[in-house]
Structures are given as C-alpha cells and as structure tokens.
Structure 1
Amino acid sequence: MGVRRRRNVVFTALVSVVVALAAIPMLLIVVVSGAPTTVVVATVLAAVPVVPLVACFLWLDRYEPEPRGLLALGLLWGAIVACFAAIVLEGVGGAVGGFSDQATVTVLAPVVEEACKGAFLLMLLWWRRDELDGVLDGIVYAGMLGIGFAFTENILYLAAAYDGTGPEGVLGPGGTTALTQTFVVRCLVSPFAHPLFTAFLGVAAGIAVNSRSRSARTLLPLVGYVGAVLTHALWNSSTVFGYGGFVTVYALLMLPALCAIGALAVWTRAAERRMLSAALGDAAARGLLPATDIGWVVDLRARHRARAHARQLAGPAAEDAMREYQQAVIELGFLHHRYLRGTPPPDFAVRGQEYVSRIGRVRPIIAFPGQVVPTR
C-alpha cells in the first residue's frame, strides 16, 4: 500500500469514526429539542433547501467531480460533528467565559462554528491534499460543510420556534406563525448563509494548495477563517438589531457576498477549462496522451456527447470506460498544471504514472464519435 493510499485510508477512517461517535449525542439533542411531531415537522422543513443547494454545488463541480464519498463525509461532518462540537463548545464557553446571550450569538458562535466546520477543510489539506486542485474544489467542500451544518441547526431552530423556546422564541409564544416565520427566514431567504461563510475558508484553502510560498500556504487558511468569522458575526449581529438591521445586512452584505462567491466559482470553472487545455496540450506534446482527445475532455458538452456515443455503441460498460478515461485525463491535467507551475505534490511522479497507466489501459477500448474535436 503506497503512502497516498495509506493517507487516504487514515483520513476516511478518522472522519468516519468521529462522525459515528458524534452521531448518537447529536441525535439525542435533536430528539429532545421538542415533541416527536415537532421534531419530524422541523426535520422535513429543514430538508427543503438541502437538495437544491447540493445540486448547485454539484453543478459547479463538473470538470473534475470530487469523490462522492468524500463530499458525503463533508456533509455529515457539518451536520453531525461540527454541529455537536459547536453546541458543546458554545455551552462551555458561555458558562466559563460568562458570555451574555447577545455576545454568544455575535462573537462566540461565529468563532466556534467556523472553526468546527473548517476543521474538515484543514484535515483535507493535511491528509487529502490531492483532492484539492484549486478554488472551486475548496468552495464545493465548504458548501457541503455549510449545508450539513445548516440542516441540523435549522431543525433545532424550527423546533424551538414552534415551542416558543430558544432564540426564535422572540417571534412570539410559538406555534405555526413562529414556525412559518423561522422557516421563511432560515430556509427560504437565507439557506445559503452557512455555505457562504465557510466558502471564505474554502477559497483560501484552494489558493493555498497552488501557492509557491510556504508562508502563504500557512497563512491563507487563517485569513480565510477570519473572513468566515467576520461575515458570520456581521450576519448574526443583524438579527440582534431587529428587522431593519437584518434587511440592511442582507442587502448590503449577504447578497453582494453571495454574488461575488458565485461569480468567482463560475469564473474559476471557465478558467479551469483554459488551464486544462494548456496543461493537457503540454502533456500531449510529451506523449502522455493523444492531442486529439483533449477537446473531448475539457469541453463539457463534448464530454457528455462522447459518453452518449460510447453507450450507444457498446452499452453501459463502454460508457463507464469513457468516463474513467476522461476522469484520468482530467486528473492528469490538474496534476500536470501544478508541475508546470512549480508546485507539484510530493507524490507527483507516482500519481502521474498512475494516471498515465489508466489512460494507456482504457484508451484502446473506447471510441470517440470521430476524431474531429468539437469547438465552440
């Protein structure tokens, strides 16, 4: 078993064990947060924004799809580990530090919650650095962490709103009205809040991976964490100052920040196509793959067309082979780009040989729809 394989196994095992250990106490917290019917209703309502948000991040993650198992671990880490750790640490911090309710919401919660979510990204940087190829990957993983965290947090807030307890109790004595108001604010108006906060750390982690400077690779995640905490703190502060403060921060901070992160993600995905074209062109010149295949990999529509053609010719097995080939070429492109930038990972040679071997093994058994590379 190689070093890379061992590190992958260690990361997966560690995260899985931590998720499993945190699942029971977190489930108990959810169960006792309200009457059984209340918890069920709160869970259903909290799940409403989950699928659309996950779909948006998966749409962004199309050039080099991240391992679905790893994305699922990020979702579970946010929903279970980060949420449970935040509840414990905020409770202990509030008791030991003597924080008021307002200070807990505006100061302690942002610091603790972003650290708990961000821990997964830092572990990715340490153990699964090969899965972070840039800014877009960082945003996608941050999104999964934020979606998971918001899901569990929303269950607790929705249950508290209905029962008239907790922070949402300020909406009234509870009941359907308070539940509806909380659902609209948290699940319809601002479901992107937690993914947005953590995206600052995700962007920083993506930049750090490709940085040539050792100090930058160390400091950038810290800068991203500070950005996540400040944005989170401003957002939480808006809820303290009533409806006017909420609307002001939402209009002047949240929506512009969301648009900026979204635009950055879309621009990065377009830039990845240009980067992959250049890196794979150089790899083809070195004889690592046929140059005529590049267009069938870097163009998303051409990629899908090639898969459909393979399926039509020889069924699902041929489509799977085409998908494997395209994935190996994409992985080689990202790795070769880092080599050309002068920031190759320590296992560059081993990983490169693995991708080249996969390309050489699969290429003879697939067929593209002609050798005229489609262009836009």
Structure 2
Amino acid sequence: MPPTGAGAGAGPGDAALRHPHWWQRGWVRYGALITLLALSGLVILALVRRQTGTEGFLVGLGLAVLPVPWLTAAFRWLDRVEPGPWRNLVFAFAWGACAAALIAIVANSFATHWIATSTADPAGADTLGATVIAPIVEESAKAAAVLLLFLFRRRDFTGIVDGVVIAGITATGFAFTENILYLGTAFGTDQLTGGRGIASVTAATFFVRIVMSPFAHPLFTVLTGIGFGTGALAGDGQRARRVLLPLGGLLLAMGMHAFWNGSSTFGAYGFFAVYGLFMVPAFGLLTWLAIWTRQRELRTVREELPAYVFAGWLGPAEPYVLGSMRARRMAREYARHHFGGRPAGRTVARYEACATSLAFLRHRARLGRAPADFAVRERELLSELWARRGVAWPALEYATRASARAPAPYWPAYGYGHLPGQDYGQGYGQGYGQDYYGYPAVPYSAHNPYRT
C-alpha cells in the first residue's frame, strides 16, 4: 500500500496532477468556449442585420422565434426519462444559432461565389450551392456540436435519445438564425416592391419555413444524432462502430438535406411532392422511433432496477414507479407539497434521474458494454440516491399507492442475487448483503419506509 498522510512522499507524477497546465483548467476551457460563442453571435448578428436592415431584422426575429419554444419543449419532453444537464442544451442551441450559422453563411457565400466566377452559369452556381455545398457545410457545422458533447460529455451522452435531443436542439438554434435571415430579407423585398398581405414575399416565406417545415433542419440533423447515439451504445472496444455509425448518420443527414433543397428543381410541384411524399413520412417515422426509444428506456428502468431492490438500495415498488412518467411526476408533486416546496421536488427529480442512470449503466454492463469506470460511476450514483432517500422514499411510496402499482416479487423472479460485476464476470464488487463499496446493505425492516 502506498504511504498516506501529511508526511507521505509525492510521486514523480503527483505535481502534474495537482498543478495542471493553465490551458487544462476547467475555467479556461469554459471561458474560451463562451468567448467563441459570444464572438460568433456578435458577428452573425452584424452580418444578418447588414443584409436585412434593422427593421427587417426585428421583423425576422419576431417571426423566427415562434417555433423555437414548442420545438425545444418537444425535445425536452423526449429527454424526460433521463434528463440531460441544461448546460448541454444551452451549448447546443448557442452553437447552432451562432457558431454553426456563422460557418454556414461564410462558407456557403464563399463557395457559391467561387463557383459563379469559375463557370459561365451563375444560376447553375446557385443550384449547385443549394443542393451540394449547403447540405455538406451546414450539416457538418451542426454535427460539430454533437461531436463535442459526444467526446467531452460522455457521461451525459449514453444513447439514441441523447443524440436526438442534442442534435435537435442544435438544429433548432441554427434554423432560428437562418429564419431571421430569410424572413428579414423577404420583408426588405416587400418594402421595395410594395408587397402586402398574403401575396407578400414575407407571408410566403413564413408559410413555407415556419408553418409547413419548421421541423426541416431538426429532422436532418436528428439523423446525425441517431448515428452518434448508436455509436455511444457501442462498447469501448468497438471503435469502428463508434466512428462509422456517426459518419453514416451525418451522410444521411446531408443526403436528406440535399434532396429537400433540390426539390425546387423538380418542376412546378416538385416542392410539394417532396414535402408530402418524403418529408412528412420521414418526420412521422423518426417521431415514432423517438417515442418508441423513450418507452424502451422506461422498460429498461423497470427491468434493471430490481437488482438494487434486492440489495436494499430501492424499495420493492420503485422500479415500477420509476418506470412510469406519470408516477414519477406524482412523486415530485407530493414532495413539493409536503416536504419543502420546490427544493424537495428537485431532490426527488434528481433521485429519479440517478436511478434511471443506474439502470442504464447496469443494462450496458449486462450486454457486455460496461464502461471502464463502471464501479466508480455505480458508486457515485448509489451515493446520490442514498443522500436523497429521506425525501424521495416517502414521495415514491405515495406515488406507488396513488398509481395503484403493486410491488412484484423481485429476487426469485429476476434472479438478481449478485452484484453487477458478478453477473458480468468483471469482478466489480462483492455480494449483496455485505459491505457494498463502503455502504452497509439496507435491511428493509430497519432503514427504509418499505417495511416488511
């Protein structure tokens, strides 16, 4: 055992661990990222305002913001089973609205201008720019946000739903800025031509972009998110899958984007044909896939948590309560009304999130995809559950009674008599009923409200 205590000698690498380089410090990285996004936002604001004018910018801003709340709410609803941190969603939206939009405007303008000056067909340059250059540039710029979170926030990026939510929020931010530009430009055109009412360019642009297809950019980029989400499900040794699946999702996003942008070249009714025969069915299919994945996550919670019921960390009915969004909501409301208001509700919400993360962690391990830090992560989650049990257990017990969910037998039926490590042959821990990572096993009759 290495020496410990105040007089213990330091190893040769200890100083580097205690004193990282200045660029490795968290506040430096966060500061650099915030500065980058802020500068991108200021530049994109100036570029859009220059093209649309102040009045056009304000009109475009007022109209472009309309679909943002309900798109964001839809993705947040999808993320309710295991909600990700708000900071990830704020970053994704800001990246899409600022950095990705700036990259797209600069790169698209440069590429289209270069093509126009290199050929004798300026109209063909616009078509090529819209159907080839724009999809590649824009989807790559949006995918950068998903990639950054995939690489540096792996604990928050564990499956398909996380990829869909992050990609969708990023694309929502991108579409917001792009809609300001298009709607502001249309308003400026109406000011010059005297367009009014439903015959105006602004009304037509609003109908196409805000009413008919507000989901277009999220739909494209969600394909990239699905690729990253399936890549996140791969084990640590499956590096080819973790690279090829995100790349395949990105290529599909580019292809769908190019097909949508090229619909105007398919004749007078090409746009409406592509919209009705391709975009709407694709939107419906991906919506069904997202909802089905959400329900599968709830089923995973119900199937994996009984292992921790047997160990005494959870009450008998908790896997079923935590596997029902209705019961989870009832538990939070009960805590808010009977245990100290909003802070108590947030405590129960955090308990539910930790239990869900624990179920997903165990599920990955049971499939042979346990991360290298499985034992550390499991202990952290169990610690958070234990710290919040005083408020969470009574609230969940109330939700059990109110939702009329009776606890099912858990140890004989599920066969969970071992720790996760013993189930998977990884040697992660000791047997249930013993000292569990420094925590005592919890006999039901003594330490929790589910007394038998």
TM over 0.5: yes
Structure 2: distance between partners of 1:147 and 1:48:
11
Structure 2: distance between partners of 1:77 and 1:230:
22
Match of 1:21 in 2: 39
Point out where structure 1 has 5 or more consecutive residues left out of the alignment: none
Match of 1:340 in 2: 366
Match of 1:331 in 2: 357
Q: Give the length in aligned residue pairs.
A: 369
Aligned partner letter, 2:356: I
Match of 2:318 in 1: 293
Structure 2: distance between partners of 1:273 and 1:140:
17
Aligned CA-pair RMSD = 2.5
Structure 2: distance between partners of 1:263 and 1:8:
39
Q: TM-score, normalised by structure 1?
A: 0.91
SS at match of 1:34: helix
Residue pair 1:136, 1:269 contacting (<8 A) in 2 also: yes
Point out where structure 2 has 5 or more consecutive residues left out of the alignment: 1-16, 119-123, 407-452
Matched, 1:45 2:45: no
1:143 to 162, 168, 173: 168
Matched, 1:209 2:232: yes
Structure 1: distance between partners of 2:139 and 2:25:
25
Structure 1 stretch displaced more, 10-19 or 116-125 = 10-19
Structure 1: distance between partners of 2:369 and 2:311:
19
Residue pair 1:7, 1:128 contacting (<8 A) in 2 also: no
Q: TM-score, normalised by structure 2?
A: 0.76
Structure 2: distance between partners of 1:17 and 1:284:
47
- Given the superposition, is the C-alpha separation of residues 349 and 14 from structure 1 closer, same or farther in structure 2, using an over 3 Å criterion? farther
Q: How far off its partner does 1:311 sit? A: 2.0
For residues 141-290 of structure 1, the aligned pairs below 5 Å read 141-164=166-189, 173=193, 175-176=195-196, 177-212=200-235, 213-241=238-266, 243-290=268-315
Q: How far off its partner does 1:85 sit? A: 0.6
Structure 2: distance between partners of 1:15 and 1:109:
25
Structure 1: distance between partners of 2:57 and 2:245:
40
Structure 1 stretch displaced more, 308-317 or 154-163 = 308-317
Aligned partner letter, 2:405: T
Structure 1: distance between partners of 2:29 and 2:169:
17
Match of 2:87 in 1: 69
Matched, 1:322 2:348: yes
Q: How far off its partner does 1:91 sit? A: 2.2
Structure 2: distance between partners of 1:279 and 1:293:
11
Structure 2: distance between partners of 1:133 and 1:219:
17
- Given the superposition, is the C-alpha separation of residues 61 and 305 from structure 1 closer, same or farther in structure 2, using an over 3 Å criterion? same
Structure 1: distance between partners of 2:78 and 2:218:
14
Residue pair 1:46, 1:187 contacting (<8 A) in 2 also: yes
2:137 to 112, 115, 129: 112
Structure 1: distance between partners of 2:194 and 2:153:
45
- Given the superposition, is the C-alpha separation of residues 227 and 190 from structure 1 closer, same or farther in structure 2, using an over 3 Å criterion? same
Structure 2: distance between partners of 1:7 and 1:150:
33
Residue pair 1:114, 1:225 contacting (<8 A) in 2 also: yes
Give the structure, 1 or 2, with the largest relative contact order (CA under 8 Å, sep 6 or more). 1
Residue pair 1:8, 1:127 contacting (<8 A) in 2 also: no
Q: How far off its partner does 1:101 sit? A: 0.8
Structure 1: distance between partners of 2:185 and 2:160:
37
Report the structure number with the largest CA radius of gyration. 2
